[in-house]
Chain A
Amino acid sequence: GPKVLQIPSHQIIDMGQMVTLNCDPVSNHLYFYWYKQILGQQMEFLVNFYNGKVMEKSKLFKDQFSVERPDGSYFTLKIQPTALEDSAVYFCASSLALRLGGEAEQFFGPGTRLTVL
């Protein structure tokens, strides 16, 4: 089936540094998402991106977070600067657009494990 790829699979950085997480979504998908999952806990929605714009974001999507997808390349999540509480697994997802993004099946990548020291 359709695959979402995430690069890298693991990232270890020092607190205060910048990190960029990369996502290669399913090729004909139009909606893109980032989720955060702290080990053993719930999947938390961060942000939804469509047509070059953030459509919706949660309280977890702090000012230090940003997303973009320049020229149809990777969909990226940038954190600058990072904090200890940003340590988690970040999942990217993509979906086709239906009437509303919330109706479509989302395809998830395998996640990027981010460790902030």
Chain B
Amino acid sequence: GDSVTQMQGQVTLSEDDFLFINCTYSTTWYPTLFWYVQYPGEGPQLLLKVTTANNKGISRGFEATYDKRTTSFHLQKASVQESDSAVYYCVLGGTNAYKVIFGKGTHLHVLP
């Protein structure tokens, strides 16, 4: 069945460090891939979205590239700030279903 894998449960960085969060997916359909971010006490909000048509999403300094060969959708940011501290979810949609599938989430903690 369709699935999303985020292996990193927690990432701790210092300000201006490079961020890389790993995400892989599995589906037999043409996926739409999302990264959502959840700040404490709030619901998730869309960070960026990529379809098979556009391959790469960029938002607020974050970028993610859809790689069909490796079925990956990793999230990167060149220089993190303390305000980026949050939980980041890789999400799979666009499958033969009316739902999306959330990864387990990666808790990013950026030290000042």
Contact = CB atoms under 8 A, between A and B. Distances in A.
A115 interface: no
Which of A33, A43, A100, A101 has the most chain B CB within a 10 Å cutoff?
Answer: A43
A106 B100 contact: yes
Interface size grouping (class) on chain B? 20 to 34
A111 B42 CA distance: 7
A31 B98 CA distance: 9
Contacts of B7: none
A50 B42 contact: no
Contacts of B96: 100
B58 interface: no
Interface stretch (B17-25, B44-52, B67-75): B44-52
Interface of A: 4, 31, 33, 35, 42-45, 48, 50, 55-56, 58, 91, 93, 100-111
A54 to B, nearest CB: 9
A102 B32 contact: yes
Given A45-B101, A102-B94, A4 B32 contact: no
Nearest to B100: A102
A33 B43 CA distance: 13
B104 interface: yes
Nearest to B102: A43
B32 A103 contact: yes
